[in-house]
Structure 1
Amino acid sequence: MNYLAHFHLAQQLASRSDLDHQGLLIGGLLGDFVKGPLQGQYPLSWEVGIRLHRRIDALTDSHPRVSECLQKLPVNYRRYGGIMLDVCFDHCLSRHWHKLHPSSLNHFSQDCYQQILVHKNDYPRAANRQISFLAEYDVLNMMDNWHNIEAMLARIAKRIPRETPLSHCGPELAKLLPFIEQQFLKLYPALQEQLYQEFYEAPDAKSNYTGTNKTD
Structure 2
Amino acid sequence: MNYLAHFHLAAVVARQGGYDDEALLVGALLGDYIKGPLRGDWPAEWEVGIRLHRRIDALTDGHPLVSECLAGFPSEFRRYGGIALDVCFDHFLLDRWSDHALDNAPTAAQFAGECYRVLGAKREHFPVAAQRQLAFLTEHNVLCILRDWTMAAQMLARISRRLKRQNPLRDCAAVLDAQRPAIARCFDQLYPRLLEQLPQEFAH
Confirm or deny a common fold (TM above 0.5): yes
Q: How many residues align?
A: 201
Structure 1-normalised TM-score? 0.91
Q: CA deviation at 1:103?
A: 1.6
5+ long unaligned stretches in structure 1: 206-216
Say whether residues 1:145 and 2:148 are aligned partners: yes
In structure 1, the residue matched to 2:110 is 107
Structure 2 counterpart of 1:8: 8
Please list every run of 5 or more consecutive structure 2 residues that lacks an aligned counterpart in the other structure: none
Q: State the distance in 2 between where 1:170 and 1:41 align.
A: 42
Aligned-pair distance for 1:81?
A: 0.9
Residue 39 of structure 1: aligned partner: 39
Q: Which residue of structure 2 aligns with residue 29 of structure 1?
A: 29
Give the 4+ runs in structure 1 shifted more than 4 A: none
When the two chains are superposed, the root-mean-square deviation of aligned CA atoms in Å is: 1.0
| Contact 2:61–2:82, Cα closer than 8 Å, also in 1 | yes
Residue 192 (structure 1) aligned with residue 195 (structure 2): yes
In the other structure, the counterpart of 1:71 is 71
Indicate whether 1:85 and 2:85 are aligned.
Answer: yes
SS at match of 1:72: coil
Q: Report the residue type matching 1:52 in the other structure.
A: L
Counterpart pick for 1:131 among 127, 131, 134: 134
Report the counterpart of residue 94 of structure 2 in structure 1: 94
The 2-side partners of 1:25 and 1:113 are apart by 10
Q: CA deviation at 1:62?
A: 0.7
Identity of aligned residues (%): 51
Partner Cα distance (1:176, 1:154) in 2? 17
Write the letter of the residue equivalent to 1:143: L
TM-score by length of 2: 0.96
Q: Deviations over 1:85-144 (max 9, x none)?
A: 111111111111122112211000000011111111111111001111111111101111
Q: Report the Cα offset of residue 147 of structure 1.
A: 2.3
Question: How big is the shift at 1:165?
Answer: 0.7
**Residue 167 of structure 2 corresponds to which residue in structure 1?**
164
Answering whether residue 198 of structure 2 is matched by residue 177 of structure 1, we say: no
Q: Find the residue that maps to 2:80 and give its secondary structure.
A: helix
Q: Which amino acid aligns with 1:64?
A: P
